[in-house]
Amino acid sequence: MSILINESTRLIVQGITGRDGGFHTRKMLDYGTQIVGGVSPGKGGTHVHDVPVFNTMEQAVKQTNANTSIIFVPARFAADSIMEAADAGIKLIICIAEGIPTLDVVKAYRYVQQKGAQLIGPNCPGLVTPGKSLAGILPAQIFKPGRIGVISRSGTLTYEIVYHLSAAGLGQSTAIGMGGDPVVGLYFIDLLDLFENDPDTDAMVMIGEIGGNAEELAAEHIRKHITKPVVAFIAGQSAPVGKQMGHAGAIISSGSGTATEKIESLKAAGVLVADEPSQIPELLKSVNLLKTK
């Protein structure tokens, strides 16, 4: 199995006629993702890489039975695109677009929840179920099918850590880049629960960073509700207070959200925390070994 996407995923690309949308549509098609349509207002009736283009999400969903969308539109249109997808009946919305005003995301995410849909992102690299489906901008060649679930706030660290996992023979069930903005959709707790209930995921890797309290909340949730092994890495251990590091959400304020606090919370919950990304495969093998004794 996997979580969120698989070989049955029917994907619509919002912004398919743009530079990034068109480029990554080709990459996803090459991976084997079932892309059934694209949306670009005013471009309906055309094709991109033999994928039919529609003017609206309503038209696209009705004619293709799509269940998932991925958004590559400019930031000023992205919140509306999220809500248009949810309104059309899409159940999983992946927003790659970055630079969306936070209050616009709050409004759009609330609408997604009201419609019973799920959101990944914005400002995220998407997700992949290796060997089945890729929905995003992740480098497909580093992923291998397996039984490790990966959850990450950082796209670049996802790639580095997955590279180490695959090189060590530890394939992935699904890998998800959640996005690094202050407000995003599915987050650590939601995804931990999905992997916990996935019979084909044996353990999880959690990649966090400074800023906010999501990792601390996840640690408490792990302590109470997660039975599968979790290994973590926290980026930004040398970041000074008040300094934003990369992502909009990666900022320490008023002494909270530090790497030290996050690491201590995770360790207290029984999570093994790596000092370096390259240590993660070794830690995973150690917890699986302990599990079998």
CB 219 within 8 A of CB 194: no
In the residue annotation, 24 being an active-site residue is answered as no
pLDDT reported for residue 259: 85
Residue 239's pLDDT band (cuts 50, 70, 90): low
Q: Which residue has the higher pLDDT, 140 or 180?
A: 140
pLDDT of residue 250 exceeding 50: no
- What value does the mean pLDDT of the chain take? 92
pLDDT reported for residue 287: 83
pLDDT reported for residue 292: 47
CA–CA–CA angle 238, 240, 241 (5° rounding):
135
Positions of CATH 3.40.50.720 in the chain? 11-120
pLDDT of residue 245 exceeding 70: no
Tell me the mean pLDDT in the region 80-91.
Answer: 98
Q: What residues pair up with 231 in beta bridges, in sequence order?
A: 205, 272
- Tell me the C-alpha distance between 123 and 65, whole Å: 26
pLDDT of residue 267 exceeding 90: yes
pLDDT of residue 251 exceeding 80: no
pLDDT of residue 256 exceeding 70: no
The single residue of 47, 49, 221, 247 carrying the catalytic annotation is 247
Architecture of domain 139-292: 3-Layer(aba) Sandwich (3.40)
Closest CA to 237 of 278, 280, 282, 275: 275
In the chain, which ranges are E strands? 11-14, 35-39, 47-48, 51-54, 68-71, 92-95, 118-120, 126-129, 133-136, 145-152, 172-177, 203-209, 230-235, 272-273
Give the CATH class of 11-120: alpha beta
Q: pTM for the whole thing?
A: 0.92
Positions of CATH 3.40.50.261 in the chain? 139-292
Q: Which residue has the higher pLDDT, 154 or 265?
A: 265
pLDDT digits (tens, 9 = 90+) for 91-139: 999 999 999 999 999 999 999 999 999 999 999 999 999 999 999 999 9
Q: Which residue has the higher pLDDT, 241 or 57?
A: 57
Closest CA to 123 of 40, 247, 23: 247
Joined together, the tokens standing for residue 67 give: 């269940």
Joined together, the tokens standing for residue 6 give: 């698989």
Radius of gyration of the chain (CA): 19
CB 156 within 8 A of CB 98: no
